[in-house]
A and B are shown apart, each in its own frame.
Chain A
Amino acid sequence: MSSNVKAQVAVSRQYEKENRTLAVWRRLRSNPGAVVGLIILAAMVLMMIYSFLFISYQDIYTINSKNRFAPPSSQHLFGTDESGRDLAKRIAYGSRYSLAVAFGAVAIGVIVGTFFGAIAGYFGGWVDNLIMRISDIMSSIPSTLLGMVIVTILGPNLLNLLIAVGVTNIAGFIRMARASVLTTKNNEYVEAARAIGMSEFRIIFTQVLPNSLSPLIVTATARMATSILAAAGLSFLGFGIAAPRPEWGALISGSRNFITYAPHLCTFPGLFIMLLAFACALLGDGLRDALDPKLKK
């Protein structure tokens, strides 16, 4: 009898449920693109940590007028800017702002946009109409203008900049989530879920949304780069992170006057934004595949 029970336990051990996150991670690891993206992102995060530990405020703000516009060299890896400050250090220091804006603004857009978009698409009717008309109004205002208004109301600092850019992202995600939910909600398993007595909200979040994620993930990663640039635009206009702070977008816009004279000043920050966007896109693609149980092998 007891040996029988033991055998049964052994059998069920054998099929012990693999943790969902672990399973996703395993699938992500086997995707070369995603691994490259992860490595680039990890390097950027490391760079940010390094800047917190070893780069002081003086390092990046002290002006050295003898060494202006130095080209890249072994001493100054990416050269120096118009005030003789080391560009490599400034980029490393600025990663904290840029990463925060890229992830924060997109996160706001995804979370808020998906929530309302899913509700609009799932319930339809007047709820749909209300949400979509509000989103229409939001997307009819030029995003820079909308961002400026929000920063003006809230006051210029990193968090508010992030909120401003995030809000301009929302309308796009509402539209995307709604479209995606509209196609998923008519699946038979949604009806089956209703038939077992699931509540509508539970159906949205356990049945419909997980099956509508892929376009959202792809859009989210594409929005990262545009969010950085939008934040840079706002910063440039004086609504955002104040000028001497080396946010990547601000670095580009600050050095646009010297683009013919010292092209490295625009090139390197631009390269970093591109790398970030590239890494996110790779990771997003990989994540989309890894989250889909049908593409398991």
Chain B
Amino acid sequence: MSNKAIETAGSQQAVITNNEDIVLEVQDLVVHYVLKKSVVEAVNGVSFKLKKKRAIGLVGETGAGKTTTALAIMNLVPDPPGVIKNGKITVCGKDMLSMKPHQLEKIRGKDISMIFQEPVSCLNPFLTVGEQISEVIRLHRGADKKSAAQEALEMLKLVRISSPEKRMNQYPHELSGGMCQRVMIAMALASRPSLLIADEPTTALDVTVQAQILELIKDLKNKLGTAILLISHDMGVIAEMAQRVLVIYAGKAMEYADVRSIFKKPRHPYTVDLLKCVQRTEQLFRRQINLNKAVLDPVNVPLGCRFHFRCPDVKDICILEEPPIIDFDGGKVRCWKYAEELKGERA
């Protein structure tokens, strides 16, 4: 019954796709991690669209399936144990999931780039910064060594790193975390991708550097016209960057709406919880008790709503049955609370 509702929601989305501005479209993505004795449903029916020059925020706590979604978009889910069970991912009109490895290699880094969480460990300690940026340019633009190095230097200037000429010949361990993140961004943007996936780009950095990096990404987005998929568990970062927000809990999309409506009138209780974390830091510790009360076991997903045993507004039906996706003005939410309202309206 509830599955039917999800299916109809999925097909509704499929109808409205013929738009040239759409850079990324994810439809009903399901990714499982198949372990020896159990199956973890890391991502379970996530759908969204992303247009040129826009940014979408993917929010959720650790283990919600944010990074898995990002990896699935690049078709890089580690296999084994990861299996993309279902779904369709289209990047610039190309179906990522049906492509052969050598075709994927041409798209990764060219049409889609990714910025990772840990900038320092994502750079090869054996190569200089300049060599690593040049590598991307040579791979995707067929430039020779010299012009690639020139271009790499330009990229370093673009990301406003201090004394870029010097950085070119330095190794990652000689740079600070913030500088490494700038290098990662330079690498990611060197091939002028249409889609940039930023997987918690600021988590490993301190607050002042965070602000600078976010400002930089925003700036480059406007300059180069890149669409951004921003993954974060930090609502503050999302508010700063994104136009649309997708809230994920335990692999399921809980709410999908405009950033304004998310902050003004969050519908899903989980979104409310997440927002409270940002808005009232002094109460964070008290909230945390609630948040930690029961961390979902990804192997034994409960019947009914995944969020029910943390939900403040839990009702009987939440425990028994998975809620459907409810459309509202400018967004979608998966919660019985609104389904009841809907029913009430109809009746």
**Residues of A that sit less than 8 Å from B by CB:** 11-12, 14-15, 17-18, 187-189, 191-200, 206-207, 210-211, 293-294, 296
CA distance A207 to B114 in the complex (A): 18
Contacts of A196 in B (CB 8 A): 108-109, 113, 135-136, 139, 187-188, 191
Contact with A189, one of B105, B125, B188 (Cβ below 8 angstroms): B125
CA distance A188 to B109 in the complex (A): 16
B169 adjacent to A17 (CB under 8 Å) = yes
A194 adjacent to B76 (CB under 8 Å) = yes
B109 adjacent to A195 (CB under 8 Å) = yes
A15 adjacent to B169 (CB under 8 Å) = yes
Stretch among B115-123, B268-276, B277-285, B327-335 lining the A interface: B115-123
Which partner residue on chain B sits nearest A18 by CB separation?
Answer: B169
| Smallest CB separation, A209 vs chain B (Å) | 9
CA distance A199 to B101 in the complex (A): 9
Contact A189-B113, Cβ < 8 Å, known A15-B166, A195-B74, A197-B108: no
Interface string of B116-148 (1 = CB under 8 A from A): 101001111111101000011001100000000
Contact A198-B124, Cβ < 8 Å, known A12-B153, A294-B173: no
CA distance A188 to B121 in the complex (A): 6
CA distance A188 to B122 in the complex (A): 5
Q: List 10 A-B contacts (CB under 8 A).
A: A12-B165, A15-B166, A189-B121, A195-B113, A195-B114, A196-B108, A196-B188, A197-B106, A197-B140, A206-B127
**CB of B102 within 8 Å of the partner chain:** yes
**Residues of B that sit less than 8 Å from A by CB:** 74, 76, 101-102, 104-110, 113-114, 116, 118, 121-128, 130, 135-136, 139-140, 153, 165-166, 168-169, 171, 173, 184, 187-188, 191
| Smallest CB separation, B116 vs chain A (Å) | 6
CA distance A188 to B187 in the complex (A): 15
Contacts of B108 in A (CB 8 A): 194-197
Contacts of B105 in A (CB 8 A): 197-199
Contacts of B153 in A (CB 8 A): 12
Contacts of A193 in B (CB 8 A): 124
CA distance A211 to B166 in the complex (A): 24
A293 adjacent to B118 (CB under 8 Å) = no
Which partner residue on chain B sits nearest A293 by CB separation?
Answer: B171
Which partner residue on chain A sits nearest B126 by CB separation?
Answer: A210
Contacts of A293 in B (CB 8 A): 125-126, 171, 173
Contacts of A187 in B (CB 8 A): 121
| Smallest CB separation, A291 vs chain B (Å) | 8
CA distance A179 to B105 in the complex (A): 27
| Smallest CB separation, B203 vs chain A (Å) | 13
Which partner residue on chain B sits nearest A198 by CB separation?
Answer: B139
Contacts of B169 in A (CB 8 A): 15, 17-18
Interface-central residue, A196, A207, A210, A211, by most chain B CB under 10 Å: A196
CA distance A11 to B157 in the complex (A): 14
Which partner residue on chain A sits nearest B188 by CB separation?
Answer: A196
A211 adjacent to B76 (CB under 8 Å) = no
| Smallest CB separation, A292 vs chain B (Å) | 8
Contacts of B166 in A (CB 8 A): 15
Contact A294-B125, Cβ < 8 Å, known A192-B116, A195-B114: yes
Interface-central residue, B125, B140, B187, B191, by most chain A CB under 10 Å: B125
Contacts of B128 in A (CB 8 A): 17
B109 adjacent to A211 (CB under 8 Å) = no
Which partner residue on chain B sits nearest A190 by CB separation?
Answer: B124
CA distance A15 to B109 in the complex (A): 28
CA distance A11 to B76 in the complex (A): 40
Contacts of A197 in B (CB 8 A): 104-110, 139-140
| Smallest CB separation, A24 vs chain B (Å) | 12
| Smallest CB separation, A101 vs chain B (Å) | 31
CA distance A196 to B116 in the complex (A): 12
CA distance A192 to B127 in the complex (A): 14
The 10 closest A-B pairs by CB, nearest first: A196-B109, A197-B109, A197-B108, A192-B122, A210-B126, A15-B165, A195-B114, A293-B171, A188-B121, A189-B124
B102 adjacent to A199 (CB under 8 Å) = yes
Which partner residue on chain B sits nearest A16 by CB separation?
Answer: B169
B123 adjacent to A192 (CB under 8 Å) = yes
B168 adjacent to A15 (CB under 8 Å) = yes
| Smallest CB separation, A122 vs chain B (Å) | 13
Which partner residue on chain A sits nearest B102 by CB separation?
Answer: A199
CA distance A187 to B168 in the complex (A): 23
Contacts of B113 in A (CB 8 A): 195-196
Q: A12-B165, A15-B169 are in contact. List 20 more A-B contacts (CB 8 A).
A: A18-B169, A187-B121, A188-B116, A188-B122, A189-B125, A192-B122, A195-B108, A195-B109, A195-B113, A196-B136, A196-B187, A197-B106, A197-B110, A198-B105, A199-B102, A199-B105, A206-B135, A207-B126, A293-B173, A294-B171
| Smallest CB separation, A126 vs chain B (Å) | 13
| Smallest CB separation, A158 vs chain B (Å) | 36
Contacts of B114 in A (CB 8 A): 192, 195
Contact A188-B171, Cβ < 8 Å, known A193-B124, A199-B102: no
| Smallest CB separation, A199 vs chain B (Å) | 5
Which partner residue on chain B sits nearest A15 by CB separation?
Answer: B165
Contact with B165, one of A11, A199, A207, A210 (Cβ below 8 angstroms): A11
